[in-house]
Structure 1
Amino acid sequence: MLVRNLLLLVGLGIGSQAALGQASKKESVPDREIREQKLADLIDSEFDKFWKKNDITPAPLADDAEFFRRISLDLVGRIPTVQEVRQFLTDRDPQKRAKLISRLEDRSQFYNYFANVLRQQWLPQTLENAQFADAGVGFEKYLREKLRNKEKLDVIVRDILTASSQFTDRQGRMQMEKDDPPAAFNRVNEFNPASVAAAASRLFMGVKLECAQCHNHPFNSFKREQFWELAAFFSEVNPTIAASGDAKARRSIVIPELGKTVTVKFINGEMPKFKDDKESPREVFVNWLTSKDNPYFAANMTNRIWQHFFGLGLTDPIDEPSEDNPPLIPELQKALAQAFIESGFDLQFMMNAIARSKVYQRSSKMTHQSQSNPKNFARANVRGMSGEQLYDSLVQATGLREGFQEIPQMVRGMRSGRAAIVSKFSSPEALIERQTSILQALTLMNGNFLNNQTDLNKSLFLAGVVDAPFLSPTGKIESLFLATLSRMPTKEELQKYQSYLDKSKDPETKKKNYTDIFWALLNSSEFMLNH
């Protein structure tokens, strides 16, 4: 019992002033952080003008608890610990939010989480089809290593779009993931030039060209021939063409049904220039895609980063930019794209700048009717957690000793506890549109996971809180709130739960009442939402 209480003392963040003092020491501000703050200030300035022009009153800034929970979910994919919340709430450093953002992005959980996020965006087939599971594992590991090594986004995209077409062992089985993990992009798209081109244009250019694959669409400015001219850049992902070494075949493609052969051409109408017959058309395409003058790549990637933090893009839907779907603030999207280019396509630079902005840090509580449209970003959009965020937050809140091991989430997903929750809470809906279904609610309320983790005989964390001699009933309730909702209870909440505890004089029954409180908090909408 003594050991448990000592461990809990540390876990609850009590008596941790030394850590606070260390975190509060003045640090010199590097040039990078100055540039991040300047971009954050630009974001706020552009939105101030937009809101004023449209008679919108933005919400006030979120309090420290609301901000900490949100940024933790957005950067490391889970809620903070009790100790982390206690330290942050008592820290008086005016720069603590900016410092917190930097600390979170230096954690291994950040690289693990974003490798998983990017894999889901770029290779969703590895979640939907079991035959691609091995490709997902290798691809996620590759992404995690690249992110940890601070690799720039254009380099990662180049690896993916120029990856080997196919490797085989002596028995003729495909082995490309073991030697070249980015080649999984070709595999999940079935080595089909049209499928690879459609995915590449949507994911890395923000242009949904597949609508023009079969016919000219009356409401799409891109025509059928333009789609196939783009697809011609990827002809060599077909293993037969790759093996032929025929330069002409690698730079052309036949349009199905029409029987017409077209050669490579960029969607802006420009003709590519090749050094010689050996130069890969995919290399030429990526050179064009990631050039500083390209209007698509930087704008698309910054828009997707924005969507990650807000649930919506500045241009939304994110892969359908057009005259009928312009950016909310064109000047801002152009400025973000230019800053991204000047940073060398630095993912963390752009994420830091957005997270530092007051726009991101506003409260999700509606304080004025003009904040009702989520596309105006006048308050933080309430978003449903992804299945991975929910499971990892449950693990964090309950103290389950699964831990955040440095293994791909795809592998951890094969474990029954994670799989049961992730599969139930996965949805193609946008996060701001998600609603908890009856099946999802029942999974949490009646599932083995919560039943075990709210059982005094099975949950070390809960038993530690309930048995802690250094915590009063009020302190125990506060600890349960900090563990689940990452905030202190309000006066009304405290009175309500204390009244519930006081209904019973029997010590064992009172202990059981704590488990009911813990269970109720874990099943609350507030716990399951990112807000």
Structure 2
Amino acid sequence: MKAILALAALTISSAVSLHAAALPEAQKIDAILAKEWEKNNLKPNPPATDEVLVRRLYLDIAGRIPTAEETQEFVRSNDPAKKTKLIDKLLGSDGYTSNMFNYWADVLRLTDNVKGRVTAEAYEEWLKKQLKANTPYDQFVRNLMTTEGGVWDSGSIGFYMRDENKLDHLAYTVQVFLGTQIVCAQCHNHPFDKWTQMDYYGMAAFTYGMDTRGYEKNALKSLAPKGKKGAKAPDVDRAALKNMTKDQRKAYMAEQRKKMEATEAEEAKKPQLSRADVEMVRKSFQDVMKPLRYTSISWTDKLPTLPADYKYPDGKAGQSIQPKVLFGHEADIAGSPTRLDAFSKWMTSPENPRFTTVIANRMWKKAFGIGLIEPVDEMMDSTVPSNNELMEYLTTLMQEKKYSLKSFLRVLYNTDTYQRMATATEVPLGETYHFTGPILRRMSAEQVWDSMVTLSRGNIDDRVEDDNVRLHQYLDDLSMFLNTVNSKGPEALVEVAKQGNAARVETDKRIAELTEQAKQMRESGGNPDAAQKLAREAARLRKGNSNDVLEALLGEERAQDLRRGYQPDKKGMSAYDKAALAALSKEERREAMKMGGSLSLNARASELPSPAKPGHFLRTFGQSDRELIQNASDDASVPQALSLLNGPASEVLGNPLSKLSQDLKNADTPQQKLELLYLSFLSRQPTNNERAVLAQVIQQRGDKAVDDVTHALLTGSQFLFIQ
């Protein structure tokens, strides 16, 4: 036992000489940091070994440890450009998409546990596609800010659907993209910053018009009352107006009004429904329209009003507030089609004093473990970076890279500073870290999970999904349903509703009869199974009321597809190779099948429900509950140790069908098996001191040595930390 404890406590050392950074931009960063080291009489950390670096790169970029084969391929290579080539390979992999999805899911608080489950999953898929395509970050943010329509058009509407409270959503938006916390000013003037409650409502005015109940407006459009002459302003091209002379604008507006009046005149000729007919249709379609809830958003010109308890002299309760930005240049509202468009352009402009700095600082922290500005999302006018010259250069670099996060990260990972040994001492609160190397960090919950998947299944990065086929089939059904309803015309909808009402009367009558019969049967002590059967028939008929309307609209087959609803794929279920299963002995097959269902280490964290349910391995290791921005934790806990030591994770890794078990089976001697464990868990061979300890373990424990060392490595800090 002492030998095992000694084994778990050993640390690695040794280094190789550093090469000059491969990229000019990386050399620039190293030069700026070198001046800081000299100024503060500091020495940079020693260069990282190939073994340390290959593991760090896989974890930081692809979100998992490398396989034993991937480690050996890198370490054995004599290519002088192998580090840069590996960085490029990983940045272009699906592993990068998976890892960055986990990061942004935490920042954007993506969750499946919302009312609009379909929209939430489409939002997640949209995000993965944006990351895989390396959509420039400024365009990515504008896409989110200005999204509109149905989820079948774009999953990005999940950005607004995430929070029902539009005032809260504004606070999260500003915190994420501008690194500024203004949430306190929603209720009162900020106690620690300059923002007032009026400032808050001025910012909220940009996004307040986004209506997340859009399905109610999109559905049954043909029932909407026709507008009266002059009831609304004509549609105009504001950008075109801006370049016109006064006379041209006058003529243009007159022409637009003429077109609008002609359209209204045509609409007025169409048959008008009575209020009773409209109400009958809405009532008949109430249940039928439920699948469309939380599936679309629409933009309105609605403005926020000051709350009833507003107490400051610059405004009155109930007063409508016009949009006004917090800082920097003014938003071009007049030259934009909507306030939202003006807001998104203002926010993502290179002239915005915080937008570029915030994302550059976030990516720096992702690579090095600590930001030049901390916290990354609590910037104030008084905020000063730990290295102002470097922060200014990174901001410029982000703009030069045209907001390509991959290109920006490529520079950071190619710096000599990143490729040094990690700083193992914690940076005290309030003290400045001068980046003599990256910070030692514990893996995130997702990195732990994905590394366990790698041990169990090998590299499965190519199984990260691009398209959720089942989801898109259902979205197509929803779009088809909405289009069918809107294409029917008022008279057809009234006819369907009348048929539905007639059927409902007969059905309700039959339901009442069945309910009464079941009641009498129970009271008289009759056959309880027969009574239950009657009750089930009544429930079926009750459900059938809305089904009749749906079938009248779509036909029986398509109505059945829509009623079936969205059934997500069960990801992570066992899918072992049949040939590998056949190669096992009878006892091994029995053991493999018994273990296979204990933990589904067959899918990456990005492919599982987001976030995992409480009690899941991911949540045990600190996965965010997505209630707050970046709410994940890397604190150690007793349940984590127990989960690794005695939980299903170790059982699955010990499954005869797991990659680790198969590799161990192919090793000839106990010593080779233990060396393979080190290579698989830590991406390196044991040191001479560790070999001595391992020899004692083999001598003392015999056949149990492999299990003992597996547990020691699995629960040790060297496995869980990114060195």
TM category, shorter: 0.7 to 0.9
1:362-410, CA deviations, whole angstroms, 9 ceiling, x for partnerless residues? 212559999x968332232121211111011012123479776223845
Q: CA shift at 1:342, angstroms? A: 2.0
**Corresponding position of 2:644:** 444
**Corresponding position of 1:12:** none
**Corresponding position of 2:711:** 519
**Corresponding position of 1:18:** none
1:319 and 2:377 equivalent? yes
Q: Distance in 2 between matches of 1:433 and 1:307?
A: 16
Q: Distance in 1 between matches of 2:54 and 2:200?
A: 44
**Unmatched 5+ stretches in structure 1:** 1-33, 168-175, 505-509
Aligned pair partner of 1:289 in 344, 347, 360: 347
**Corresponding position of 1:507:** none
Structure 1's 418 and 496: CA in aligned 2 closer, same or farther, altered over 3 A?
farther
* 1:76-91 aligned within 5 A: 76-91=62-77
Amino acid at match of 1:234: T
Structure 1's 72 and 102: CA in aligned 2 closer, same or farther, altered over 3 A?
same
SS of 1:495 mapped into structure 2: helix
1:149 and 2:123 equivalent? no
Amino acid at match of 1:273: D
Identity %: 26
Q: Distance in 2 between matches of 1:207 and 1:245?
A: 38
* 1:480-499 aligned within 5 A: 480-499=677-696
TM-score by length of 2: 0.60
Q: CA shift at 1:133, angstroms? A: 4.9
Structure 1's 153 and 285: CA in aligned 2 closer, same or farther, altered over 3 A?
same
1:375 and 2:433 equivalent? yes
Contact 2:360 2:395 in 1 (8 A): yes
Calculate the aligned-residue CA RMSD, in Å: 3.3
1:62 and 2:48 equivalent? yes
Q: CA shift at 1:113, angstroms? A: 2.2
* 1:219-234 aligned within 5 A: 219-234=192-207
* 1:117-136 aligned within 5 A: 117-124=103-110, 126=111, 129=113, 131=115, 133-136=117-120
Amino acid at match of 2:433: K
Q: CA shift at 1:73, angstroms? A: 0.7
Q: Distance in 1 between matches of 2:101 and 2:444?
A: 15
**Unmatched 5+ stretches in structure 2:** 1-20, 218-230, 236-298, 311-316, 466-603
**Corresponding position of 2:555:** none
**Corresponding position of 1:162:** 146
1:364 and 2:422 equivalent? yes
Contact 1:398 1:483 in 2 (8 A): no
Structure 1's 133 and 42: CA in aligned 2 closer, same or farther, altered over 3 A?
farther
Structure 1's 325 and 271: CA in aligned 2 closer, same or farther, altered over 3 A?
closer
Contact 2:138 2:403 in 1 (8 A): yes
* 1:18-417 aligned within 5 A: 37-124=23-110, 126=111, 129=113, 131=115, 133-164=117-148, 176-190=150-164, 192-239=165-212, 250=301, 252-256=303-307, 257-258=309-310, 259=317, 260-268=319-327, 270-275=329-334, 279-364=337-422, 375-399=433-457, 405-407=463-465, 409=605, 411-413=607-609
Contact 1:383 1:529 in 2 (8 A): yes
SS of 2:321 mapped into structure 1: strand
Q: Distance in 2 between matches of 1:108 and 1:241?
A: 34
Q: CA shift at 1:303, angstroms? A: 0.9
Worse overlay, 151-160 or 233-242: 233-242
Amino acid at match of 2:700: K
Aligned pair partner of 2:660 in 441, 448, 461: 461
Q: Distance in 1 between matches of 2:177 and 2:610?
A: 30
Q: CA shift at 1:239, angstroms? A: 4.8
1:467-514, CA deviations, whole angstroms, 9 ceiling, x for partnerless residues? 433xx443322211010011111111111112211236xxxxx33321
Q: Distance in 2 between matches of 1:181 and 1:416?
A: 21
Contact 2:444 2:634 in 1 (8 A): no
Amino acid at match of 2:85: K
Amino acid at match of 2:186: Q
Q: Distance in 1 between matches of 2:328 and 2:70?
A: 53
Contact 1:381 1:432 in 2 (8 A): no
**Corresponding position of 1:170:** none
- Larger Rg over CA atoms: 2
- How many residue pairs align between the two structures? 474
